[in-house]
């Protein structure tokens, strides 16, 4: 993930032309209220351990052996939690790398249920650390504890909760590959672009989607991002309102920020699923946290409290939605 405010105007034009062609989806499907279900308790400790485990493999740059080893572990974890898993392979070219073996991991819970919600994150880590203060370290791959590891850590914990607390809702957890290895305007979000053009099931759709990107840092702040507002404003406002009710409004702040090209752009435009981005991007100096694309993006900047708060909000969204209360 990188700052791409410079392409805001370009994106806006692309979005407007896209909207002219496509019928607007209803912002919410009226659902019958069912009895309130118990919302399971999200564990910040377990989400943290999920990040440590990913880092134990090493960096997760597409095409490398450590990337492949981590993929196999992720697939096994989802299967252990009862998901039907699809590995969607594709080739990615980025920076100095050509045709790297890459895989979107799609974990389906209750695949027969027609009411579905999409939860997603990217699972790759970055080949370079172009923002590192140490010049000699800038060509080395980063650990990506926050940028990559945190979203995956939270979603794996949600998979565990779904396994232990059955939910009357279809949930698809999609881990996009090759999100974070672009440069300037090119080659970002390769996994979500591939998935959007080659959906894992014919006519696949979901009522709405939530993308988690950099959701684990101690000082995280999640602002209201432009693309999320443009495509899925109703959902964003309901998530932020729920976060306020759950006393997580120190993270989910009401500051509006310009467009960021992240995987949700392609889910919105290619799959036509209204999708918001929960992303740590509200810092004064260049919007992302100081650890972004540096070697400080390691386990030391991760907070179990941040993970617990964001994870508990997303868990509440899906369990409330399953009984018509979101
Ligand atoms: Zn990034």
Q: How many CB atoms lie within 10 A of CB 199?
A: 15
Report phi then psi at 115, rounded to 5.
Answer: -85, 115
Share of the chain above pLDDT 90, in %: 86
| Contact indicator for 225, 268 with CB cutoff of 8 Å | no
Is residue 149's pLDDT more than 70? yes
Residue 165 CA to ligand 1 centre (angstroms): 33
Residue 146 CA to ligand 1 centre (angstroms): 9
CATH number at residue 163: 3.40.630.10
Q: Total structural domains in the chain?
A: 1
Listing DSSP states for 117-136 in one string gives EEEEEE----S--TT-SSGG
What's the confidence (pLDDT) of residue 283?
Answer: 79
Residue 212 burial by CB count (10 A; 0-12/13-18/19+): exposed, middle or buried? buried
Residue 147 CA to ligand 1 centre (angstroms): 5
Residue 3 CA to ligand 1 centre (angstroms): 9
Rounded Cα distance between 178 and 263, Å, is: 10
Q: Where does the pLDDT of residue 282 fall: very low under 50, low under 70, confident under 90, or very high at 90 and above?
A: confident
pLDDT per residue over 162-217, tens digit each?
Answer: 999 999 999 999 999 999 999 988 899 999 999 999 999 999 999 999 999 999 99
Is residue 44's pLDDT more than 90? yes
Is residue 128's pLDDT more than 90? yes
Q: Whose CA is closest to 279, among 218, 225, 233?
A: 225
Residue 166 CA to ligand 1 centre (angstroms): 33
Q: Whose CA is closest to 59, among 192, 181, 176?
A: 181
Which residues have C-beta within 8 Å of that of residue 309, sequence separation ≥ 6?
Answer: 44, 246, 248, 251
Residue 183 CA to ligand 1 centre (angstroms): 10
Q: How many CB atoms lie within 10 A of CB 67?
A: 23
pLDDT per residue over 87-120, tens digit each?
Answer: 999 999 999 999 999 999 999 999 999 999 999 9
Angle at 264 between CA 152 and CA 170, to 5 degrees: 65
Rounded Cα distance between 46 and 219, Å, is: 20
Domain that holds residue 101: 5-322
Rounded Cα distance between 98 and 37, Å, is: 48
Which H or E element spans position 12?
helix 8-21
Residue 130 CA to ligand 1 centre (angstroms): 11
Residue 122 CA to ligand 1 centre (angstroms): 9
**pTM to 2 decimals?**
0.92
Residue 32 CA to ligand 1 centre (angstroms): 40
What's the confidence (pLDDT) of residue 33?
Answer: 80
What's the confidence (pLDDT) of residue 125?
Answer: 98
Residue 322 CA to ligand 1 centre (angstroms): 32
Residue 100 CA to ligand 1 centre (angstroms): 18
């Amino acid at each position: 993930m990188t700052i791409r405010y410079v392409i805001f105007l370009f994106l806006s034009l692309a979005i407007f032309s896209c909207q002219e062609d496509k019928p607007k989806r209803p912002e919410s499907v009226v659902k019958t209220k069912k009895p309130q279900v118990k919302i399971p308790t999200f564990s910040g400790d377990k989400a943290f351990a999920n990040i440590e485990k990913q880092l134990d493999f090493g960096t997760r740059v597409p095409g490398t052996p450590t990337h492949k080893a981590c993929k196999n572990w992720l697939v096994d974890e989802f299967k252990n939690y009862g998901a039907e898993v699809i590995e969607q392979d594709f080739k990615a070219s980025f920076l100095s790398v050509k045709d790297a073996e890459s895989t979107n991991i799609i974990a389906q819970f209750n695949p027969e249920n027609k009411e579905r919600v999409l939860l997603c994150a990217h699972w790759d880590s970055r080949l370079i650390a172009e923002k590192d203060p140490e010049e000699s370290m800038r060509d080395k791959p980063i650990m990506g504890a926050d940028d990559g590891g945190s979203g995956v850590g939270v979603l794996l914990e949600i998979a565990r909760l779904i396994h232990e607390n059955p939910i009357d809702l279809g949930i698809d957890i999609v881990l996009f590959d090759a999100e974070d290895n672009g440069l300037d305007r090119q080659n970002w979000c390769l996994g979500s672009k591939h998935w959007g053009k080659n959906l894992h099931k014919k006519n696949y759709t979901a009522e709405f989607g939530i993308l988690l990107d950099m959701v684990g840092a101690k000082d995280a702040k999640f602002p209201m991002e432009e693309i999320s507002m443009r495509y899925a404003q109703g959902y964003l406002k309901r998530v932020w309102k729920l976060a306020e009710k759950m006393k997580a409004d120190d993270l989910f702040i009401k500051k509006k920020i310009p467009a960021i090209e992240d995987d949700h752009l392609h889910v919105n435009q290619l799959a036509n699923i209204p999708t918001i981005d929960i992303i740590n991007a509200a810092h004064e100096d260049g919007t992302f946290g100081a650890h972004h694309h540096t070697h400080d993006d390691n386990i030391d900047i991760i907070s179990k409290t941040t993970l617990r708060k964001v994870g508990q909000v997303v868990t509440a969204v899906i369990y409330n939605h399953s009984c018509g209360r979101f």
